[in-house]
Amino acid sequence: MNTLTIPVRTSAHSQMVDITRDVAEAIPQAFSGVCYLFCQHTTAGLTINENADPNVVHDMLAELERMVPWQNAAFRHGEGNSAAHVKSSLMGLHLAIPVENGRLVFGTWQAIYFCEFDGPRSRRVAVKLIEG
């Protein structure tokens, strides 16, 4: 199968966007295997986390900002977005999710989040379906 691309438009400097529906819609009904996702950006990332309580997203972003504050005199990167690069590496750039009969195999409260750390921007997530 070919690699698909999911566009993601972010509206804030730091934001977690639930892209679960977009990913699910990219999977054919009879497909079983693995859905591999790859974030094509160095200042964003991907994660799976709870989708029932919006405070989880708030808490995640707050803790990442506490751990890696935007303003840090030790950063040397000329573009001034070193914090976004560090957060991207902490979250990770790829996910592999099992798929059975066209459905993502998730736990009850899990969702896929695109994590923006240098927005707002137009972004992309590559989707590769691997049969098996």
Domain annotation for the chain: domains and CATH numbers: 4-131 (2.60.120.460)
Strands 110-116 and 15-18: antiparallel
Question: The pTM is what?
Answer: 0.94
pLDDT at 55: 96
Query: What is the pLDDT tens value at each position of the chain, 132 positions in all?
Result: 689 999 999 999 999 999 999 999 999 999 999 999 999 999 999 999 999 999 999 999 999 999 998 887 677 776 767 889 889 999 999 999 999 999 999 999 999 999 999 999 999 999 999 998
Q: How far apart are CA 111 and CA 104, in angstroms?
A: 10
Sheet containing 15-18: order of strands: 15-18, 110-116, 44-50
pLDDT at 14: 97
